[in-house]
Amino acid sequence: MDFQLPHVDFRVMAPELFLFAWALVVITFDLGTKRRSGSATGYVALLGLVITGVILSITPEGAGFGAMFYNDAGSLFFKVIFLGAAFMAIGSSFGIMERKIQHHRGEFLGLILLSTVGMMFLASSNELLSLYIGLELTTIPLFVCAAFFKDNRLSVEAGIKYLIVGAMSSALLLYGISFLYGLSGTTDLLQMRVNIATTHLTFREIGLLPMLSVVLLVAGLGFKLALPPFHQWAPDVYEGAPTPVAAFLSVGSKAAGLVAFAKIMINGLQVFYEDIMAPNDWGLLVGILAGAAMVWGNVAAVRQTNIKRMLAFSSIAQAGYIMIGMLALNDIGLSSVSFYMFTYLFANMGAFAIVAIFEDKTGSTQIKSYSGLARTSPFYAASMSVFMLSLAGIPPLAGFFAKYYVFAAAIKMAGSNEIHQWLYWLVGVGLITSVFALYYYANVIKTMYFTPDESPYKLPLSLPGSAVVLIGLVGVILFGLMPGPVMDFASAIPAAFGLIAP
């Protein structure tokens, strides 16, 4: 019997291998200093992320382990987002590490890093088995992180809710995958596209079974992305989980869900999208979910009094906008999605960092406690306003260009063929709900700036929390003024998924 390994190239896998080793280093470091290391453990974790970023910048594209690990432009771009999200989440968790989880700092940081490894692994896999394992490695550490305040009822509830929803979405996803495997006889996504195309053409009259697997896959991934009607867990989990974990969930975990979606639905099932006559088109299905996300996310966000719940509904709405770009299967759709996610990283992580600092100082997450903050803490109030305006999509901030590119991609797609004209409606919904969204984002600014009394709280400037806010601020403004360089990087992504100009 011969044991022939696929082509193995460790240089391609170097960032993941290093970050995995570093996660163990962080845990050991915390134990080695008898848990008296103070904030040093946090800095060790941040250092590891920076080194991983440096390694990532020299990582070549190509196959690392056959189809199980393949770096293309999209993998590398999204790995930057994952590392950024982990960096900013850990940077904003120094407050809770000092006061609330001082006995388990190492484990907390180690689990966040392991989850990041899972996301990076996921972004490189072109095969359903490794993709699923990457997705599980992403979420399982986060179940624990969500429940990390063990004596806090809301946090434990968040952990259990996230665990149950995560298990159920995985079950749906796996069931869908099992049908795909039965139909195509392979787990390799590119091979699957070929096999399903042939099966599909031969057995066109019974196209309902592929549709069943598409529905299951969209439901499973919809839970991960928190698209309505699979979104109910998000506000409760974000509210109960430690704020940096909620931030990491809203950016890192969402980006991982997007990658999984793009890999399965575009790499594996692109034929279904193009074949509009068949009943198994996934475009319309996802389009309806995206529309529901934009409408319901924004409407529900208006009623929230807790800023973490508001940001949760805002992130549901943002997922809707992102999916518009995902539905534009042309040469700019996926690059607009990537750019959107990149700007969302800075705006959302920045906003959550301020929420974390505020909660650490005051213990409150109510929007009304922010009243008058502009007089006592002008830096934080100004930064928060910038993040809110970017999330709302106000020029010249990065969030404006993100929305602009996504809408432009969808309009181009809609114009390319008559059968895609329904995308105009989706863009219309996006534009109208964007205006609506301005109301609750501006409400936070109004509370901070336009209330007569001065806030009783003064938020201190501290490292590295303030640095995270500053990174977010610089990112949102810089990439708003000069989106070009990032778009240049992102422009190679659609081609990596086999998408070209029609």
Partner 1 sequence: MDASVGPVFWILAAVTILSGIAVVSLKNIFHCALFLILCLFSVAGIYILLHAEFLAAAQVLIYVGAVAILMIFAIMLTSGLASRTIKQVNKHALTALFACVLFVFVVIGLIFKSNVWNWARVPLPEDNVMTIGKLLMTKYMLPFEVVSVLLLAALIGAITLAREEEA
Query: What is the binding site for partner 1 (CB under 8 A)?
Result: 1, 3-6, 20, 27, 65-66, 68-69, 103-104, 107-108, 110-111, 114-115, 117-118, 121, 129-130, 133-134, 136-137, 140-141, 143-144, 147-148, 150-151, 159, 182-186, 195, 199, 203, 206, 208-209, 212
CB of 299 to partner 1, least distance (A): 24
Token readout for 239 is 């509210």
Within 10 angstroms of residue 38's Cβ, the number of other Cβ atoms is 14
Query: Do residues 43 and 29 lie in contact, with contact meaning Cβ atoms separated by under 8 Å?
Result: no
CB of 45 to partner 1, least distance (A): 14
**Torsions phi, psi of 259, nearest 5?**
-60, -45
Please say which residue, 277 or 484, places its beta carbon nearer to partner 1.
277
Q: Which residue shows structure tokens 């797609």?
A: 413
Within 10 angstroms of residue 284's Cβ, the number of other Cβ atoms is 12
CB of 104 to partner 1, least distance (A): 5
Please say which residue, 185 or 502, places its beta carbon nearer to partner 1.
185
The 3-state secondary structure of 27-48 reads HHHHHHCCCCCCCHHHHHHHHH
Q: Which residue shows structure tokens 């170097």?
A: 14
CB of 312 to partner 1, least distance (A): 22
Buried b (16+ CB within 10 A) or exposed e, 315-350: bbbbbbbbbbbbbbbbbbbbbbbbbbbbbbbbbbbb
> Among candidates 318, 362, 336, 354, which has minimal Cα distance to 473?
354
Please say which residue, 82 or 148, places its beta carbon nearer to partner 1.
148
CB of 296 to partner 1, least distance (A): 20
Please say which residue, 229 or 395, places its beta carbon nearer to partner 1.
229
Pairwise CA distance, residues 237 & 161, whole Å: 7
Please say which residue, 248 or 387, places its beta carbon nearer to partner 1.
248
Token readout for 240 is 């109960």
Please say which residue, 68 or 295, places its beta carbon nearer to partner 1.
68
Pairwise CA distance, residues 206 & 208, whole Å: 6
Please say which residue, 75 or 434, places its beta carbon nearer to partner 1.
75
CB of 371 to partner 1, least distance (A): 36
Please say which residue, 55 or 156, places its beta carbon nearer to partner 1.
156
Pairwise CA distance, residues 249 & 244, whole Å: 9
Any residues with CB less than 8 A from the CB of 269 and at least 6 apart, and which? 180, 192, 193, 196, 214, 282
CB of 197 to partner 1, least distance (A): 13
CB of 148 to partner 1, least distance (A): 8
Q: Which residue shows structure tokens 């995206």?
A: 290
